A and B are shown apart, each in its own frame.
Chain A
Amino acid sequence: MKGARIIPRAVVAGGLLAGLSAAWGAESHVHVITVDKLAFGPAPKGLHVDDIVEWTNGDILRHTATAADGSFDVDLPPGGKGRALLKRAGVLLYTCRFHPGMKGRLEVAP
């Protein structure tokens, strides 16, 4: 019990880091898309499977980034951000559930 108490911080932190880098891979890239004035910013070039897309919501309104194929549904609170992991290659269409006129398209290479 006593020993267990000594271990935690460093090991847990290390474990978390290991977990994160395993999930999001050392070579996985984060591509940022800015959301502003009810529009998704341009799609980043060079997206690959296992990359991460991060949306930064600069609007005062709540949005979502919701994939048409159901592969992600990211809540984007006003001024907040959210991420999705690209799991499959191909073309991904997405919209905002609240403002369906907002449309985005991602091209993901293997």
Chain B
Amino acid sequence: MVRIHRSPLAAVAISLAPMVSMAHGADKPTDPQIAHIAYTAGVIDIEAADLALKKTHNKAVRSFAEEMARDHAAVNKQALALVKKLDVTPEDNATSRSLADAAAKKREELSGLQGRAFDKAYAENEVAYHRAVNSALETTLIPGAENGELKSLLRTGLKLFQEHQHHAEHLVGELK
């Protein structure tokens, strides 16, 4: 499932493909799986932000990465509180694993870049990543969630990630 690909969008799209196809298949994700996928998606972006904070010297990239780390940590904290309240144990699954694998490869690729090349690649990947996660939220995770509170948290997550996507697009424009 996971392939190294030149285009960050394609790489993320490939990694998210099973999530999207689940909507139509018999193996629709369950709430514990949806919670796990959403949480994993947040952790991945926090790790990407941590890498950016270590590597970048660009003020706009730094402030964007700080925002990503702060917002995703806040949403994940809320998600943990919710699963605890609902007595749901997030369940690892193929989609979470392929997301994490693709992210590890991307991180390795980004780690090898320096300066402007890093900043550009990081910002472009943030656009592609948020776009892919948003599409998964819209088409699979939100419609698939059975619990109302989980659904509502995912909706807030979607709104937030759309903001992040716009911010990332703006950042890509600034770095040109």
Q: Which residues of A are interface residues toward B (Cβ below 8 A)? A: 37-38, 60-62, 78, 98-102
Residues of A within 8 A of B159 (CB): 37-38
B29 to chain A, nearest CB (A): 24
Q: Are B166 and A60 in contact (CB under 8 A)?
A: no
Asked whether A60 lies within 8 Å of B74 as measured between CB atoms, the reply is: yes
B: contact size bracket: 10 to 19
Q: Please measure, in the bound complex, the distance between the C-alpha atom of A38 and the C-alpha atom of B161, giving whole angstroms.
A: 11
The reply to whether B156 and A38 contact each other, CB–CB distance below 8 Å, is: yes
Q: Which of A78, A99, A100, A101 contacts B74 (CB 8 A)?
A: A78
Contacting residues, chain A, for B160 (C-beta < 8 A): 38, 61, 99
Asked if B162 and A101 sit within 8 Å, CB to CB, the answer is: yes
Whether B167 is near chain A, meaning CB under 8 Å from some CB there, is yes
Q: Does B75 contact A (CB under 8 A)?
A: yes
| B71 neighbours in A (Cβ, 8 Å) | 61-62, 98
**Other A-B pairs, 15, CB within 8 Å; known A62-B71, A101-B163:** A37-B156, A37-B159, A38-B159, A38-B160, A60-B74, A61-B70, A61-B75, A62-B74, A98-B167, A99-B160, A99-B163, A100-B163, A100-B166, A101-B162, A101-B166
What's the Cα separation between A100 and B167 when bound, in Å?
A: 8
* Docked pose: A101 CA to B130 CA in angstroms: 15
Top 6 nearest A-B pairs (CB, nearest first) are A99-B163, A60-B74, A38-B159, A101-B163, A60-B78, A98-B67
Interface membership of chain B positions 64-98, coded 1 if the CB is closer than 8 angstroms to chain A and 0 otherwise: 00010011001101100000000000000000000
B70, B78, B156, B170: the one within 8 Å of A62 (CB): B70
A-B contact pairs, 23 of them (CB 8 A): A37-B156, A37-B159, A38-B156, A38-B159, A38-B163, A60-B77, A61-B71, A61-B74, A61-B75, A61-B160, A62-B70, A62-B71, A62-B74, A78-B74, A98-B67, A98-B71, A98-B163, A98-B167, A99-B160, A100-B163, A101-B162, A101-B163, A102-B163
Q: Distance (Å) between the CB of B64 and the closest chain A CB?
A: 9
* CB nearest to A99 among chain B residues: B163
CA distance A98 to B71 in the complex (A): 10
Please, which residues of chain B bring their CB within 8 A of the CB of A100? 163, 166-167, 170
The closest CB in chain A to the CB of B160 belongs to A38
Q: List residues of chain B with CB within 8 A of the CB of A78.
A: 74
In the complex the two chains form, what is the Cα distance from A15 to B141 in whole Å? Answer: 57
| Nearest A-chain residue to B165, judged by Cβ | A101
Return chain B residues, CB-CB under 8 Å to A37.
156, 159
Give chain A nearest CB distance to B121 CB in angstroms.
23
- Across the interface, which residues of A come within 8 angstroms of B166, CB to CB? 100-101
